[in-house]
Structure formats: structure tokens, C-alpha cells
Structure 1
Amino acid sequence: MPERASFYKGHGLGNDYIALELDRLPFGLTPPAVRLLCDRNSGIGSDGILGAVASDAADFGVRIFNPDGSEAEKSGNGLRIFAAYLLDRGRVRIGPHFTVETPGGIVRVRIVDESDDGVLDVEVEMGTASFRSADVGLAGPDRETENELLELSGGDRVAMNTVSIGNPHCVVFQDELDVETLRRIAPQISTHPDFARGTNVQFAVAGGEPDAVDAWVWERGAGETRASGSSACAVAAAAVRRGMVSERQVAVRMPGGTLRVEVHDDWSLVLRGPVEDVYRGEMTPGMVTRLRALGFAS
């Protein structure tokens, strides 16, 4: 019988992920395999892969792969899509909390509700925001960065606010979002040598509304992204810390839509937003053969 591999695909505000059982794949999920699967022309196409794994510390475990083949510590949208995947597989129910172990820590997740057209409302307790430079791998003495200037290779300078949500973020507040300029300088920030592990980048505009921020996201290992859960958390936390919003329940508006982040007094964060199923699928024997031909068969 030819070998096949099943998968699930879902998206949160246009940020899409493939979810699958890592130990059931007939090939190794190495960087070349991830890149092929995420390719939108020759693969399934996605912004990343969620690999379900066993966990001794939580109800479930997940490894999160960026489309360039690197691994991420945590993903807010990815975790919400992973919850939808677990529901689709009958492993969780709507209502009760469950825990998921990620490389960036254990989180509590809850599928709050499901609409008549099948859109899930999913809540994730994302952990505690840290503003310490050491927690994002920033060079120099450990410090809290607030509007600290970062020199870029092209001659630009940006005022950065670093935030760790278990993964690194650099939030830059601006008066307006000039997308062409952001596309030019965001990759320089994301791969700046002062960040030991690279960083996710968010440009944000706050002001005028006490509970809302507009944001544009460049994800480490993925590039420009329509929406990002951990990025929304970083933006909300930085905006509250700097007094740019007066409310602690913040709507972060991104090109793909709005996510809501509750910022508690101890800087713990709760992310909430929609997830939609896209499809369930099965890789053909030919696709499995191509993945194996990369030279990393299990």
C-alpha cells in the first residue's frame, strides 16, 4: 500500500498553518521538507507547520516550524489553530481549558465558542511579557529597552521596544504605517546581529483610541504576515507599558483583522481571536516520495 500522510489546515485572520502528527510522518520533517510543504506553488502552502508531539508536562505538545525551516518558540495564531486541529480530531471539547507545551513554555488554551458557520473563538494564556533585553537575546548589558535606538545597515535608525513572550519581539511605534518603508527596513531589524536569535518585528501606531493599536508585522523566518498572535501580544504589552493606551484590554488591528489582548497587572497576557478550518487533506504517494528524496527519510 503506498504511503500517505494526512494533515489539517486552518487559519487565523489569514495567517495559515498546516497541522499534523509528527511521529506518524513517513519522512523526516527537516528544514528542506518544511520549505517544500509550505511552498504555495509546489507544496501545500502555509505560513508554517504545527507538529503535534507527546508531552510529559502538559496535555499536548507542539513544535512550531517557520516556512524557512527554522523553529519558533511560540505562536499565538499557531496555538489557536492547533486548538482547532485538536477539536477536529476529537481530542478536546469546546469550553474546558487544556494545556499545550511549546518550546517557549506551557500555555493554557480554551475554545470559547463556535459560530453557526464554524468559526471558532479561541483564547490562549500566552504567559508573561518581559521587557528585559536578555530575554530577547539583545546584545549588551541586561536592561529594559524603551525607545532605544538601533542602527540599521542601510543607515536608518529605529526606536525599539523589546518584548519577550517566550519568543523575541521588537516593537517600533510610529506616527503612520508606510508599508513600502516597513518592507525595506523590517528585514534589517529581524536579522540584525545585535539579536542573537533574530527577532519578530512590529511597527505600530497608537493614539486617539484608549483601547486600540494598529500594527504591521514582519515575522522571523516567515516575512510579512497578515496577522500574528504573539506579535499582537507584544504590541499590546508595549503600548500599555508606555502609556500609549489607557485600557488593558487592547484591540490590535492588523491587515488580516483584529485580535484582542488582555494585559494583566503582572504583565501576563491573554490572547483571543477567531480560527477557521480550511481543509483536511492527504499527501499523495508522489509527494511523500519527493519529501523522502530530499535525503532525510525517517
Structure 2
Amino acid sequence: MNNNFFVKSHGLGNDYIVMDSHKVDFEFTEKNIQLICDVHYGIGSDGILVLVDSDKADFGLRILNPDGSEAEKSGNGLRIFAKFLFDYGYTTNTSFSIDTLGGVVQAAVIQQENAKARTIKVDMGAAIFESEKVPVKSELPECLDDLLELDEVSYKINCVSVGNPHCVVLKDELVVDEIMQYGSQIENHPKFPNRINVQFAKVISPDLVEILIWERGAGWTLASGSSSSAVAAIMVKKGLTNRKLTLRMPGGELKLEVDPDWQIRMTGEVREICSGVLSDELLSELIG
């Protein structure tokens, strides 16, 4: 594998670039991350997944957002990263552990196609509802049906951490323009010390929930594994769905399971888009 080699894959339209930190000739600075993720001047993606060393798990992972910030956890990112590890020979095992800022998770290749991983299950860890641990500034010990006031509108919010923070708003109807208008305001509201991921959710049945997603550091997103996990946890917490349910997003569907101890497991497909090597001209900009 050449230096500066990359793979671009997607999970339900949520796309990431994957690279090995040991095989790059530049630093992942905020400026460089923004350049690589830029659809016009770089490769273009919803983020970068970087393989790093770990003394806690089989593999270490850094999750870098398009704005240059670093995420604690990403469900789609974890599945994409697991596919990369399996497809490119970093492991021959179909089950392995991955160390993230949001904790160590287990990944398992469930289905293969032409010796490549297609369907992957990820143990997302336990949902945490305590306000101070999400974190969210709330007078409630658990931020459920708390009021969030914006300049033009107010929402009842439900907050949870699945290794990264999430704000779930229950809606009777889902309107893309609405989350596009207010997603950034919610993400950056002073109520959330570390900013927050935002989901508008509509319960279709006890087994199906539809969601729209505004991802912290990335904006409007077709799909998100951690967002799906967060919404599933909130739905079960509020008694609105079964513990096994499907989350439907504009990019597709994920299967979620929420255990009685709030451990969450997620299953979904991942597909590779392309692979290649960064050009010398792009490298010259990254290296400076």
C-alpha cells in the first residue's frame, strides 16, 4: 500500500475518507482536514477516519469532522472503518475491537460479498441520560422534554450521549427546511458545552422511526449511525417503541437494538466508493 493512500466509502450516503496515519506524509491539522474534505479543492467527504495505534483495543480510530474538529464516535464511521480494516488485510478476523474517543467498541462483519465486508454490526456502547454527562445545561437530572428556546421558535428536547452528545426533537412532521434552518442554532446553543448533534424524529410505528439529522461539525447529513443510536435510546426511554427497531433516514435504514442495560447495537451496510493516492499537487498544499 502506497503512502498517502486513501479509501472513500459510505454508509447510507454518509461518506468518509479512510487513511492510515503511519502511511501519510502530512499532519492532520484543522486546515488540512478542511482541505481534504472540501468537495471542490480536496476529495470531498463528511469526514476523515484515521487508523492510529491503541493500547486499549485491536485498532485505534480518530474521527475528524469536515470543519477540522474531532468527534468522539460515529456509527457509520465505525462501520466504514471496520470494512477498511477487513477489506485491506489489517485483520482476517470477522470480529475485533476499535478504540475511539467515545470508548472502545466491538465490530463484527456479518455479511460478505466477493470477500469484501458488506454488512457490519457495531456495539455502540451504553446510552447515558444524565444531563451533566451528556453534557447539557439542564435543571433536570435527565434532559427529557426540557425546553430549548431559540430566537424564533422553541423546542422540547431530549438529550443523550452514546459516546458523543445528541439532542432529539420529536416531531409530528419532518421538514428538511426546518432542520436546515435551526440545526446550526441548536448545535451551537449555549445549553450544550461541547456543541451537539441534532435529530428531528417522527415515530411511524413501534418498530419504525424516521429521522432527519444535523451533525455536529458537518451539518445536514443523509445518515448517521450515532444519531440513529441516540434516537433509538430516546424512543425506548420514553416508551414510544420496541427495543428492536428500524431507523429510516434520507440515506437509508439501520437496524438498532437497545438492551435493558441501555447497551446499543447497530447493523447496516457499507459500500466503497473509490480508492487512490493523493496527488503531488495536493500534497504540496498539505505539507506546506
TM (norm. structure 1) is 0.93
Pairwise mapping of residues 83-98 of structure 1 onto structure 2 (< 5 A)? 83-93=82-92, 96-98=94-96
Cα displacement (A) at 1:141: 4.8
SS in 1 for 2:229: helix
> 2:208 & 2:19 partners in 1: Cα distance?
35
Question: Who is 1:280 aligned against?
Answer: 275
> 2:145 & 2:223 partners in 1: Cα distance?
23
Cα displacement (A) at 1:8: 1.0
Question: Who is 2:220 aligned against?
Answer: 224
Question: Who is 1:193 aligned against?
Answer: 190
Question: Who is 1:181 aligned against?
Answer: 178
Cα displacement (A) at 1:143: 1.0
Cα displacement (A) at 1:140: 4.2
> 2:215 & 2:138 partners in 1: Cα distance?
23
Contact 1:227 1:255 (8 Å CA) reproduced: yes
The aligned length equals: 287
**RMSD over aligned Cα atoms:** 1.5
Cα displacement (A) at 1:93: 3.2
Cα displacement (A) at 1:118: 5.5
- 1:87 corresponds to which letter in structure 2? F
- Asked whether 1:128 is paired with 2:126, we answer yes
> 2:145 & 2:255 partners in 1: Cα distance?
24
Question: Who is 1:44 aligned against?
Answer: 43
> 1:252 & 1:231 partners in 2: Cα distance?
10
- 2:181 corresponds to which letter in structure 1? R
Question: Who is 1:256 aligned against?
Answer: 251
Contact 1:111 1:123 (8 Å CA) reproduced: yes
Contact 2:119 2:267 (8 Å CA) reproduced: yes
> 1:139 & 1:177 partners in 2: Cα distance?
26
Deviations 1:236-278 (CA, angstroms, capped at 9, x unpaired): 1111111111x21110000000011100011100011000011
Contact 1:118 1:276 (8 Å CA) reproduced: no
Contact 1:112 1:123 (8 Å CA) reproduced: yes
Cα displacement (A) at 1:155: 2.7
Question: Who is 1:214 aligned against?
Answer: 210
Cα displacement (A) at 1:4: 5.4
- Asked whether 1:75 is paired with 2:71, we answer no
* 1:116/1:26 CA distance change after superposition, 3 Å: closer
Cα displacement (A) at 1:284: 1.1
- 1:34 corresponds to which letter in structure 2? I
Aligned counterpart for 2:201 among listed residues 190, 200, 204: 204
- 2:185 corresponds to which letter in structure 1? Q
Cα displacement (A) at 1:157: 0.6
Runs of 4+ in 1 over 2 A off after TM superposition: 115-119
> 2:258 & 2:145 partners in 1: Cα distance?
20
Contact 1:13 1:257 (8 Å CA) reproduced: yes
Cα displacement (A) at 1:115: 3.5
SS in 1 for 2:92: coil
Question: Who is 1:113 aligned against?
Answer: 111
Question: Who is 2:164 aligned against?
Answer: 167
Contact 2:179 2:213 (8 Å CA) reproduced: no
> 2:169 & 2:243 partners in 1: Cα distance?
19
| Runs of at least 5 residues in structure 1 that lack an aligned partner in the other structure | 294-298
| Runs of at least 5 residues in structure 2 that lack an aligned partner in the other structure | none
Contact 1:30 1:69 (8 Å CA) reproduced: yes
TM (norm. structure 2) is 0.96
> 2:182 & 2:135 partners in 1: Cα distance?
20
Cα displacement (A) at 1:23: 3.0
Question: Who is 1:271 aligned against?
Answer: 266
Contact 2:124 2:265 (8 Å CA) reproduced: yes
Contact 2:87 2:117 (8 Å CA) reproduced: no
- 2:156 corresponds to which letter in structure 1? A
Identify which range, 210-219 or 177-186, moves more after superposition.
177-186
Question: Who is 1:296 aligned against?
Answer: none
